[in-house]
Chains A and B, each alone.
Chain A
Amino acid sequence: MTPLVELRHVNRTFKKGRTPIPVLQDINLAVAPNEILCLVGESGCGKTTTGKIMAGLLDASSGEMLYEGRSLVAYRGQARADARRALQIVHQDPFASLNPAHTIGQILSYPLKRHNMVQGRAAVRRRIWELLTLVDLTPPGDIVNKFPHQLSGGQRQRVSIARALTVEPRLIVADEAVSMVDVSIRISLLKMLHRLRDELNVAIVFITHDLALAKYFAWEGRIAVMYLGRVVEIGATANVIGHPAHPYTRALIAAIPEADPELTRNKQRMKLRSEDIPSLTQIPPGCSFHPRCPFFVPGVCDTRVPPLENAPGFSQDVACIPLTSGMGLQEWAPVEDMVADGP
């Protein structure tokens, strides 16, 4: 099956003054129709840039972004407009992404009219009603004439999602879409995204720094872990979270506190060799994680960039030479036990 969108050997550099900063290096990712893919990683790992390239908002410096098997830049005319319309993004901050001077009804009507999604005022109005109902903003009559500041953060984020849905997209990139709403209502937003995915047959690329949230949202999908502009591990969520391969993924999972006192206080921690994230202008040679990795093998990890491939004993792909070459776990240094004090 042709992937809905695919990134092939995508690199992206930004310039800071005269210094080029390689934000993405050799990204290969494919999203199937109706799939859920989570991009996780710490700030500066390139997850948002990847999302923007997938949504067609940014071009790759080199490499290709394919939509339905064809390079996005090869589309012309109406086909191009259709392709661009099929790729939508929901931004992190619902306070900034909605125009404060326009009512919710206006905000939703612009894309409907601009893209001729429906004809006639009555049809526009009907469609806005449908969309608001779809994102659980009911009754719609209470919402259409309100301004963004009259809504709560969660409601605003629902409006952002409704706006993305106006043009009937096939992919929604949700960039930290729930990180600014309160814990108590995050789950309802995620459940709604799940439902929309089923009902409208869209694929969702969910970008987050919160692994627990990624686990919950993408339980039936895949997770890609990014570090310093590269994907270091990708696979089915249950495998990546339950049986992590890459030392960086393991470090993340070990480091995350859990909302369960017993569990979190007895978790095995992993001690890194260095706590500092290297600067993107000075990415270490070979595996970029090697200066921090407790399983560092001199002469191997610091010389060759590890390819992202299957490792024996794991069902996911991982960019770690000691793992993929079958050097095995037993040769690695033991994990230092940093169990916290009990009650």
Chain B
Amino acid sequence: MTFNSHNDVVLSVQDLSISYLTPRGRLRAVSHASFDLHQGETLALIGESGCGKSTLNLGLMRLLPTNARVDGGRIEYTRRDGAPIDVLRLNDRQLRQFRWSECSMVFQAALNSLNPVIRVRDMFYDTAAAHGKRFRRQVRDRALDLFRRVRLDPERVFNAYPHELSGGMRQRVLLALALLLNPQVVILDEPTTAVDILTQRTIIEVLKAIREELNFSTIFISHDLSVAAEMADTVATMYAGEIVEIGPVYELFYRPRHAYTLGLLEAVPRLSAGEEELVSIPGSPPDLIEPPAGCKFHVRCPFATDRCRVEPPPLEPVGENHLAACWEKARVLTHALENAYHDAPR
């Protein structure tokens, strides 16, 4: 699937910067992030913990904690009827409508996101009522339909308390809840972390099936490259608050142009690959209050040159829909192709 037409963009983020005010100073959690999310597209944000991927997603829904500031940029959302919405300018009432009915989120800790003292059905009724949908019959029909699509036993789950459900079932309940108001964008924060392998498989299959059926766009955050490889149309690598590379999944995995993307790919074992030579990325992520000069990755980068130490590389096109911010993109690509990381059956 390729996404190059400009008229089906549902969410456009331009030059978004977010920082936290901390006792030590201003922490730049997201710097100049830009991307377009198209209808039906799945975008995966990958990167180490602390790279800003969660902050970026909270920013998209304006759920940032009080010590966070949006320093600049635009978030433009296009409704199904074509009307544009400037997310950063919504007032509280408009924001409440925007959240969940246009853009919803599945949080990481499935256990903590469900109210333990009310039944699943009441969570669905409450959510619908908060958005003016008070006809319980309709809400119930919609919920049961969603439960069937996420492979849950509809009647049993609808009337259950959260503790009666397993971790994987709760995750799917949350997914159904996120889809209740038929949003165009669903943000998934680590959707398959902390679940078992076979449960993870079920969730992946369910996600793949319903995004086809219901045609929504997905942004998902993952530190797990393998889930991104399987689910994503587009992958964005984040490092130290910046999107350092973004491109179609096959491009990014087989022809990476940023040294950090390459580093991540070379650090992950693959089950069916036999004996592998893997390398870790040395060092640890930089301090975002006083980030290093030049390319923020240069301290840990095996390809770094003098230029990288002083001049920050711009995010520029390297292929169709593929952008990377790396001075040494040619060497990175050569290295990736030579070491045939993707020696997979083509």
Contact = CB atoms under 8 A, between A and B. Distances in A.
B196 A184 contact: no
A94 to B, nearest CB: 14
Interface stretch (A64-72, A137-145, A251-259): A251-259
Interface string B311-346: 000000000000000000000000000000010111
B284 A260 contact: no
A32 interface: no
Nearest to B169: A276
Given A186-B267, A255-B200, 4 more contacts: A184-B264, A216-B269, A260-B270, A269-B205
Contact of B205 (A241, A251, A338): A338
A307 interface: no
Nearest to B192: A257
A184 B275 contact: no
Contacts of B264: 183-184
B58 interface: no
A184 B238 CA distance: 13
A43 B49 CA distance: 23
Give the secondary structure class of A's interface.
helix
B284 A256 contact: no
Interface string A253-271: 1011111111111110100
B230 A340 contact: yes
A255 B198 contact: yes
A264 B278 contact: no
Of residues A182, A185, A252, A341, which shows the largest number of chain B Cβ atoms within 10 Å of its Cβ? A182
A263 B48 contact: no
Nearest to B46: A183
Among all A-B residue pairs, the 3 with the closest Cβ atoms: A188-B280, A255-B201, A216-B269
Contacts of B271: 211-212, 215, 241, 253, 256, 258
A293 B1 CA distance: 35
A191 B273 CA distance: 18
A187 B280 contact: yes
A262 B229 CA distance: 8
Contacts of B344: 260, 262-263
Interface of B: 1, 48-49, 151, 166, 168, 196-202, 204-205, 208, 223-230, 249-250, 253-254, 263-265, 267-276, 278-282, 284, 342, 344-346
Given A209-B197, A252-B197, A258 B280 contact: no
Contacts of B275: 219, 238
Given A216-B278, A219-B275, A260 B198 contact: no
A189 to B, nearest CB: 8
A154 interface: yes
A152 interface: yes
A21 interface: no
Contacts of B1: 343
24 contacts: A42-B197, A182-B48, A182-B223, A183-B48, A183-B224, A184-B267, A187-B280, A212-B270, A216-B278, A238-B275, A253-B272, A258-B226, A258-B271, A260-B344, A261-B230, A262-B250, A262-B345, A269-B205, A275-B151, A275-B199, A275-B202, A276-B166, A277-B196, A343-B1
Q: Which of A263, A266, A272, A341: most chain B Cβ within 10 A? A: A263
Contacts of A264: 226, 229-230
A340 B208 contact: yes
